[in-house]
Amino acid sequence: MAGGTPAHPGSGPAATLPAVAPRPTLRDVASAAGVHPATASRALNEATRDLVRPATVAKVRAVAKSLGYQVNPIARSLKTSRSETVGVLVPDLTNPLFPPIVRGVEDELGGSGYTVLTANTDNDPARTSANFAAMQARQVDGFIVLTALLEDPLMQDAAERGVPMVLVNRLTERLDVSAVAGDDASGIARTVDHLVELGHRDIAHVAGPLTVSTGVVRERAFRESMRRHGLRDDRVVVTDVYSEAAGRTAMLGLLDRDRPTAVVGGNDLLAIGCYDALEETGLSCPDDVSVTGFNDMPLMSRLRPPLTSVRVPQYELGVEAARLLLDRLSGRTVTPRVVLLPVTLVVRGSTAPPPRVGA
C-alpha cells in the first residue's frame, strides 16, 4: 500500500523540488496572445467579453485554453471583494440530519460555480460567532445558517448589516431574512392525529430546546393539537439539547410520574433516547408505549422497532435554501421569503394502539 517504498528511489525526500511549473497568469496569456492584460481580462470575463472584438476574444480564449490558464480566485477576490464562496454554519455534521441538507446546498451552489465553506458550531454561540467572523474575513458572499437561535443577536446584527443569508430548519423571531424549513406544525399535528386515531389519550411530548425555533414550534403545535382533540396538553418535558441522552433522561422522568401510552419525540434522536429509557425499565415499544420521531433521518426505518417519524425533505431544504441565497446574491430578489416545505408522516412499527387498560 501507500508509502511502502518511494516511487522514485533516487530522489531524496523532496530535496530538489521538480521545479513546479508556475500557473500561467493573466499577463502570460495576454503576452502570448499579443494583447494587453486588461484586454485579456475582459475577453475572459463573461460579463465584459462583449467589450472586446469577437476575433480578439477567440484568440485570447484559445491561448488561455492552450496554456491551461485559470483565474486566480484569490487575486480576483482581493480586487472585487467577492469570493464566489458561501459559508455554511451547521451545529454538527455528525448528526445525521444535517449531511443531506448540506449536500443539497453544495450541489445547488456548486452548479453556479460557488464553493462552500462549512463549519461546525456545536451549538456554541462563541464558536458560531468566531466561525462567522472568520468566514466574513474570507470574503464569503453569503451564509446558509442551520444554527440560528430563536433569539439570536449575532444573526440579528448580521441581517441588519445587510449580510446576505438564508436560515434553514431553525428560524429566528422577528428577523427579516429568507428562510426555509419543514412545516413542523403540520407534521406534529399529523403525528398527534395518528396517535389519537390509534386510540391514545395519554400522550406526552419530549420537546427539544426552547432556544431554537424547532423546539418551540413543535411544542406549541403539540399543545394545540392536543387541545383540538380535547386532551390534556400539559404533559411536556423540555430538553436542553437534541440528543439521545437528553431523550433518555426526559423519558425516564415521564415514566416515573404517570406513564403515558404514547410519546411524541421532538426529533429522532430524542425518540431514540426514549427507546433506551423504555428498554431500561423493561417496557416495550410499541406494546406498552408508542414513540414517534421527527425528521426521519437515514436508517430510521431500520431501527428496532422501525421509527414512526415525520419525513422532512432534507436535501430539498438545502437546495431551496441555496436557491434563495443565489437569488439574493444575483440581486434578482431583494425581499426575504420564508418557504415551508411540506412534510409527511411515515408510520412504522413504533406506534400501535395503547395497551388495554384492564389487561
Partner DNA sequence: TACCAGGCTGCATTCGTTTGCAAGGACAGC
Partner DNA sequence: GCTGTCCTTGCAAACGAATGCAGCCTGGTA
Answer yes or no whether residue 262 interacts with DNA by CB under 7 A.
Answer: no
Q: Which of residues 273-312 bind a copy of itself (CB under 8 A)?
A: 275, 298-299, 302-306
Q: With CB cut-offs between 5 and 8 Å by kind, which of DNA, a copy of itself, none does residue 112 bind?
A: none
Side-chain half-sphere exposure of 202, counting CA atoms within 13 A: 13
Would you call 68 exposed, middle or buried from its count of C-beta atoms within 10 A (0-12, 13-18, 19+)?
A: exposed
92 binding partner (options DNA, a copy of itself, none; Cβ < 5 to 8 Å by kind): a copy of itself
Applying CB under 7 A, which part among 37-45, 107-115, 300-308, 342-350 lies near DNA? 37-45
Asked if 45 interacts with a copy of itself (CB under 8 A), we say no
Determine if 245 is a binding residue for DNA (CB under 7 A): no
Is position 115 an interface residue for DNA (rule: CB under 7 A)? no
* Nearest distance, CB of residue 338 and a copy of itself, angstroms: 4
Closest separation in Å from C-beta 158 to a copy of itself: 11
Q: Which of 67, 71, 163, 346 binds DNA (CB under 7 A)?
A: 71
For residue 25, CA distances in Å to 18, 70, 75 come to: 20, 8, 11
Instruction: Choose among 262, 261, 148: nearest CA to 215.
Output: 148
299 binds, among DNA, a copy of itself, none (CB under 5 to 8 A by kind): a copy of itself
Residue 249 φ then ψ, to 5° = -55, -45
Q: State the helix-helix crossing angle for 37-44 and 26-33, rounded to 10 degrees.
A: 100
Partner whose binding site includes residue 195, from DNA, a copy of itself, none (CB under 5 to 8 Å by kind)? none
Site for DNA in 73-112 (CB under 7 A): 75-76, 78-81
Separation CA 204–CA 237 (nearest Å): 8
Per CB under 8 A, does 27 bind a copy of itself? no
Mention every residue, 6+ apart, whose C-beta is less than 8 A from residue 353. Answer: 198, 199, 200
